[in-house]
Amino acid sequence: MYPRSRANQRKITNQLKIWTERRRSAKNRIKELQAIAAFADENKFVLGKLDTVVGKLKKEVEYLEGEKHYKPRVVKELFENK
C-alpha cells in the first residue's frame, strides 16, 4: 500500500529514483562490456598474440629496471708493446 504521509512518499520516490539510476547505469555497463566480449570472441588469435607481446614487454621492463653491474674487461692487447 502506498503511504499517505508526505515524508514517506518522498522517501519512496527518492529510493525509486536511486534504483532507477543504478539500473540504467548497470544496463549501460552491460552494453559496453558486450561490445568488448564480442570483439574478444571474434579476435582470439589477435588477443593471444597481444598476450605474448605483453609478456615480452614485461620481461624487457624488468631487465631495464633491474640492477646492473659493470664488469670491466681486460684487453691484454692494449698493454702489450708492439
Tens digits of residue pLDDT in 62-81: 988 888 887 877 777 777 76
* 31 occurs within a structural domain: yes
pLDDT computed for residue 82 by the predictor: 57
Task: Say which residues have a Cβ less than 8 Å from residue 2's Cβ, sequence separation at least 6.
Answer: 9, 12
Query: In the structure grid, which three cell numbers stand for residue 7, read together?
Result: 515524508
Query: What residue numbers bound the domain in which 62 lies?
Result: 6-78
* 73 occurs within a structural domain: yes
- Total domains, the chain: 1
* 33 occurs within a structural domain: yes
* 58 occurs within a structural domain: yes
79 vs 51: which has the higher pLDDT: 51
* 27 occurs within a structural domain: yes
* 1 occurs within a structural domain: no
Backbone dihedral angles phi then psi of residue 39, each to the nearest 5 degrees: -60, -45
- Alpha-carbon distance 16 to 8, whole Å? 12
- What average pLDDT does the segment 27-40 reach? 92
User: Considering the chain, what is the average pLDDT of its residues?
Assistant: 88
Taking the model in full, what pTM does it have? 0.48
